[in-house]
Amino acid sequence: MKIATIGVGYVGLVTSAVFADLGNDVISVNRDKQKCENLKKGIIPMYESDLADLVSRNVKLGRLKFTTDYAEAVPNADIIFIAVGTPSLADGSADLSQVKEAAATIAPLLENYTVVATKSTVPVGTNRIVGEILSAGKKSNATFDLASVPEFLREGSAVKDTMHPDRTVIGADAERSREMLIKLHKPLKAPFVLTTIESAEMLKYTANSFLAMKISFANAIAEICEKVGADVTDVMDGIGMDKRIGRAFLYPGPGYGGSCFPKDVKALIAIAKKAGIDFHLLHAVEDINAGQIDRILDKIKIMVGPLKGKTIAVLGLTFKANTDDVRASQPIEVIKRLLKLGASVRAYDPIAVPNAKKKMLASLDEKKFIYAENTVDALKDADVAVIITEWDEFVRLDFSQAEKVMRQRNVVDVRNLFDPEKVKAVGFRYVGMGR
């Protein structure tokens, strides 16, 4: 099939590369000329395992092309995927300006019959708006059907998740569009969820909000465990064996972050409000998540007392491992709070320092904040090591080496990566989450 994708973020770029790898002809459209030129050379704009190789291979095979010109991609496409950003507005609702702009640009270029499918995460009713824009702007001889095909990829394993999905959701009204999308996705060998456009739109927000809820639930239970002398790891292992519950996402830590969960929880609250419903449960999910920063700071204070004049080593700058994405990053929020409280910070991340520098440029105090060159450099003269991101490099932390460079032997293990007794046995004071 001939595919056009609008947008080269995580969703658009991975979607383009995977469908090209399955033998389709894919043209990916983006307004940024430099980004397109880089992609033609196999230079991708984010850190994502296996993606650079996938893009390079399919560009060389001629199955994947990048352009700034909609007219090069749209007229001959069988299926067009809209995969642009939908960030949060001030009231928490989704900003649909990029989706509407994409639809308005596509409309006059449509030829014959085309399936226009939205992969962006959008509120219920958005595809109907897209349909109105297309109908108003298209030529009289062009016809189209709408579809909603939400993605469920995770940053850090986006290629794997797209190639081996748990399910493929196709929301479509017309049989022709549904059959074309089934044919396109069939090589992925995942069960199909065939539903209406509105149900598909709702499904994505529901999935992400439920996962965010599991994270907040685990953090709430961890706080109780600390008060009553239980170990949250044992508790979550125990309930996770129940097939009705499952172990995934029941890990206490710094809370959820990144580009999806925070905005999708807010968007579902806004969707509910528009429908006249106060989603109390998701408000609690957000409150618990926001409180995790305070809990981390409290643990640091337990270790070192007043923070003014103390040196804190922060290991990890991303909201999770295996990505360079620092959007809604808990480690960065922790660092900002530490600096405000008078501490000095030495921070290290294996991948995300360039992105973190862009994020923290305005608030950077070079006298108080240092980007370390490696883990040992970050620990130099530190009063406490705070491990916030679960990079493998930190899981393998050599405490005997850490002891030689740190001022005090204190560890705040925000991800519960280590066995507390083993850490204590080598002379360190240890505090985790819910332990």
Quick one: pLDDT at residue 361?
A: 57
Separation of alpha carbons 130 and 145, rounded Å: 11
pLDDT, one tens digit for every residue, the chain (435 residues): 999 999 998 899 999 999 999 999 999 999 899 999 999 998 999 999 899 999 999 999 999 999 999 999 999 999 999 999 999 999 999 999 999 999 999 999 999 999 999 999 999 999 999 999 999 999 999 999 999 999 999 999 999 999 999 999 999 999 999 999 999 999 999 999 999 999 999 999 999 999 999 999 999 999 999 999 999 999 999 999 999 999 999 999 999 999 899 999 999 999 999 999 999 999 999 999 999 999 999 999 999 999 999 999 999 999 999 999 999 999 999 999 999 999 999 999 999 998 888 877 555 566 789 999 999 999 999 999 999 999 999 999 999 999 999 999 999 999 999 999 999 999 999 999 999
Q: What is the CA radius of gyration of the chain?
A: 24
pLDDT of residue 364: 59
C-alpha pair distances (Å), 390 with each of 89, 188, 251, 387, 413 = 30, 30, 12, 8, 10
Q: What whole-number distance in Å separates Cα of residue 377 and Cα of residue 98?
A: 42
Run of H or E including 416: none
Which residues, including other chains, have CB under 8 Å from residue 108's CB and lie 6 or more apart? 137, 138, 139
Chain-centre distance for alpha carbon 294: 22
How many helices and strands (H and E) does the chain possess? 18, 14
Name the nearest CA neighbour of 206 among 281, 317, 314, 301. Answer: 281
Mark out the alpha helices in 229-343 (DSSP H runs).
232-240, 261-274, 280-304, 330-340
Strands 143-148 and 168-172: antiparallel
* In contact, 165 and 190? CB cutoff 8 Å: yes
pLDDT given at position 365? 63
Q: How far apart are CA 383 and CA 310, in angstroms?
A: 6
Q: What is the reported pLDDT for 362?
A: 53
Contact 73, 29 (CB under 8 A): yes
- Residues belonging to the active site: 260
Tokens of 26: 């894919």
pLDDT of residue 355: 87
CA distance 432 to 152: 30
What domains are there in the chain, each with its CATH number? Answer: 2-195 (3.40.50.720), 211-435 (3.40.50.720)
